[in-house]
Amino acid sequence: MFIDSTTIVLDGHPVLREKAKEVNLPLSKENEEILMDMITYVRNSHDEEFCKEYNCRASVGIAAPQIAIGKRMLAVSIVDEENGNVEFALANPKIISNSTQKAYLENGEGCLSVVPDVEGIVPRYAKITVRAYNLLTDQIEDIRLEGYPAVVMQHEIDHLNGILYYDRIDKNNPWAPIDGALVI
């Protein structure tokens, strides 16, 4: 499946509010292909020419429900000069531990499925450990993330649970800072 702006479902589509179903391991050929198509899309979205040609928004992650597939699969690709690239193509990801410290993106979050963006601070955990099958390494891994990659992973896992980022924004005071939180 080629993923572009026409493939991504928008807020209001029922699959975005459903809890996605676990997939069987080892992955079926179909699920393997879907996951590879997802990571390919996120990688391609870093390229301005690709985005122009296919009318896409740049992204760092995508979850299967965003392409109308109610399965617990997600892809993340973050190009980071400081810490190197962070890439995962995960099936059945689950947060198995988290810090007590919170974190948030200073300018709020955005989402391929939410247009226009809803503004405000989205509280997340500063550090998480995720257990999942990673197609890129062909094994079940415990993945420790902190800072920006941790925020991205939590955003994508929320999609698998029918949660959109704006559900976490304080409706009464969307830009209220969080005491002691890591501001990214």
Residues 28, 161: Cα–Cα separation, whole Å: 22
Please count the CA atoms within 13 angstroms of the CA of 91 that sit on its side-chain side. 23
Cis peptide before 26 (omega within 30 of 0): yes
What are residue 151's phi and psi, to 5 degrees?
A: -65, -45
What the block records as the tokens of 10 is: 């928008």
| Rg, Å, the chain Cα set | 16
Catalytic residue among 32, 141, 146, 156: 156
| Whether 81 is catalytic | no
> Are 133 and 91 spatial neighbours (Cβ–Cβ below 8 Å)?
yes
**Residues forming the active site:** 156
